[in-house]
Structures are given as structure tokens and as C-alpha cells.
Structure 1
Amino acid sequence: MKRAAAMIAFVILGTTPAIAQSSPTYQALEQLGYRYVAKDQPGFVSWCSWVYVRRCSDPVYYCSCGGQSRNYGRCDIVSQRVAAHYQRYCQR
């Protein structure tokens, strides 16, 4: 509960929380204002992953929904090249 309140406080203050240092769930990203924009990263053939964006200054995340993945249900930051592909979806 305290952690969720701290994350919300970071969002309200307009700063990026230290969520980038962990592998958050897509639910945690959605609570922080991230939104789903695509099923897969460009150039990737993946049967199940999601891409999430928020502000243009924030990292872009992809989340695995593949049951065999060791990161099932967890999200990681995409590369800068991939993030550039999603600039049209972010909030300026």
C-alpha cells in the first residue's frame, strides 16, 4: 500500500518513479498512467507481448504475456530505437 501511494505521489509531482529499475507488471504501469498502444515491437515476431507508453520523456515498456516466458506478466524497457517508433503515441 505504501509503495503504491509513493508511485502515485511521483506521478502527481510529475517525476518518473524508480519503476524503471524493476520489472513492473502491466497493472502497475497502468496505475502510473501508462497506456497500451501495440501488440508487438516493430520487427519482432512475438505471439504475445504488449507495448506501453506514457509521456515522451518516460521509458517505453514491453510486457510479456507468454506463459512460457520467465518474465510472464512482467515488463521491461525497450531500446531507444524501438522507443522512437512509438513517439507518435506518447504525451508531450
Structure 2
Amino acid sequence: MSRRVLITGGASGLGRALAEHHAAAGDRVLVADRDRPGLSTDDRPFWEVFGLFRLAVIAQQTYRHHHRQTRNPAFRNLWPAVHHLDHRCRTTIRRTRGG
């Protein structure tokens, strides 16, 4: 089964070797590197999940109220947003896999 793989720092060195390895294995490889732009934007579901996941990680690192790691009430309502973003990611992944 072909996978989608995002490799950062893939223009040279270990990142490039990993990109070549995954490409040879039949995976769809997207390479991000500050020295070589050129990520394809034609795969909308991939980028949707990538963006949603980034937002979820930021929100998760911010909300600690739910786990009682902070008492700041400003963070109290972030945990439902994280779960919603997670749900959107999983739904998009399932939809694009046909399952």
C-alpha cells in the first residue's frame, strides 16, 4: 500500500536519503526544505489534514486546564476544539482512503 510521507529537511543529507528510500518503496513523498521549495499543492486532503493536525497540536499544547495542569480559565474550553480537529483529521483520512 502506498503511503503519503512528508519529509522535512529533504533537500540533502539524511532527509534526502529518506525521501529517496520512501520513493523507491513506492510511497508518495513530499519534501519540505528551506533550501528547495516545491511541495505539490494538488493533494487537497493531505494538506487539509496537515493543517488541521498542526492546529490541533498547538491547541493541545496550550490547553492544560482539562488535565488540571493549569488553573487558567481561559484555556478551559480548548479541549473540545482539539477533539473536533482530531475528528476532522480522521474523517478526512477515512474519506480519502475510501473506507
Task: Name the TM-score class by shorter chain.
Answer: under 0.3
Structure with more helix by fraction: 2
TM-score (norm. length: structure 1): 0.28
Larger radius of gyration: 2
Structure with more strand by fraction: 1
TM-score (norm. length: structure 2): 0.27
Higher RCO structure, 1 or 2 (CA under 8 Å, sep 6+): 1
